[in-house]
């Protein structure tokens, strides 16, 4: 899933002009989870945070695709060009990027929700002022674009979003006002805490 408000458009200059698909594992370390379709073509989107972290000439790894050399970046940080390095299979020192094929309206609009503690301290004392210990950010929401496989998600399903964590599907909405995404389906996913404490 890619942040919908800050996505960066990328052209893979030597990729196919038509959409290609391949079957990959849903979870790289657990084949029993099953497989999903991976869509590739020359127009993809990536996270702005990733795009801002590299320089022209640097090599990065598009997860489940391969290494890419950064050829160009615009000054605004909204677009870039990369070249697929088919024969470069050294992934040890490269930055790993999540990406999505920009499938002209087929991406799934998704709302992510993270719940945190209602108060900002572990133990409330008698003299604590509630206003000062209430966590104003106990619920955070943000919008992402998900790949086509999310169309299969049903309420109650638990899924992993690469580099984000595990989520449970809280709701599947039908909506007709989404622009640039699959207008028939919008998901609400709630983050499942990983037990590592507050970030």
Percent of the chain with pLDDT over 70: 91
Task: Report the number of distinct structural domains present in the chain.
Answer: 2
10 and 96 belong to one structural domain:
yes
Which residues lie across from 10 on neighbouring strands?
Answer: 44, 80
Task: Verify that 115 and 185 share a domain, yes or no.
Answer: yes
Q: CA nearest 184: which of 196, 172, 198, 197?
A: 172
As a whole number of angstroms, the longest Cα–Cα distance in the chain is 66
3-state secondary structure labels for all residues of 130-151:
HHHHECCCCEEEEEEEECHHHH
Quote the CA–CA distance of 20 and 38 in Å, as a whole number.
Answer: 8
Judge whether 90 lies within some domain: yes
Question: What is the model's pLDDT at position 199?
Answer: 42
The answer as to whether 24 is a domain residue is yes
- Residue 121: phi and psi, rounded to 5, are -135, 155
Q: What is the pLDDT of residues 66-105, one digit of tens each?
A: 999 999 999 888 899 999 999 999 999 999 999 999 987 7
Please report whether residue 198 resides in a domain: no
199 within a domain of the structure (yes/no): no
If 0-12 CB within 10 Å is exposed, 13-18 middle and 19+ buried, where does residue 52 land?
exposed
Q: Which of 74, 101, 128 is where one domain is finished? A: 101
Return left, alpha or beta for 53; rule: phi > 0 is left, psi -120 to 50 is alpha, else beta.
alpha
C-alpha 95/C-alpha 93 separation (Å) is 7
User: What pLDDT does residue 184 have?
Assistant: 55
Q: 9-13, 22-26, 38-42: which has the minimum mean pLDDT?
A: 22-26
């Amino acid at each position: 899933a890619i942040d919908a408000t800050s996505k960066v458009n990328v052209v893979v200059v030597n990729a196919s002009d038509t959409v290609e698909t391949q079957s990959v594992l849903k979870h790289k370390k657990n084949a029993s989870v099953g497989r999903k379709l991976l869509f590739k073509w020359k127009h993809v989107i990536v996270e702005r945070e990733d795009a801002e972290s590299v320089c022209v000439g640097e090599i990065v790894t598009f997860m489940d695709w391969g290494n890419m050399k950064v050829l160009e970046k615009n000054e605004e940080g909204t677009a870039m060009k990369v070249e697929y390095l088919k024969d470069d299979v050294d992934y040890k020192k490269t930055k790993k990027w999540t990406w999505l094929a920009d499938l002209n309206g087929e991406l799934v609009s998704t709302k992510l929700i993270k719940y945190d503690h209602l108060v900002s301290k572990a133990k409330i004392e008698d003299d604590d002022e509630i206003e000062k210990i209430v966590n104003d950010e106990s619920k955070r929401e943000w919008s992402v674009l998900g790949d086509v496989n999310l169309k299969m998600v049903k309420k109650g399903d638990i899924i992993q979003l690469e580099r984000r964590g595990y989520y449970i599907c809280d709701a599947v909405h039908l909506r007709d006002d989404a622009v640039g995404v699959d207008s028939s389906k919008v998901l609400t996913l709630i983050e499942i805490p990983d037990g590592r404490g507050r970030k």
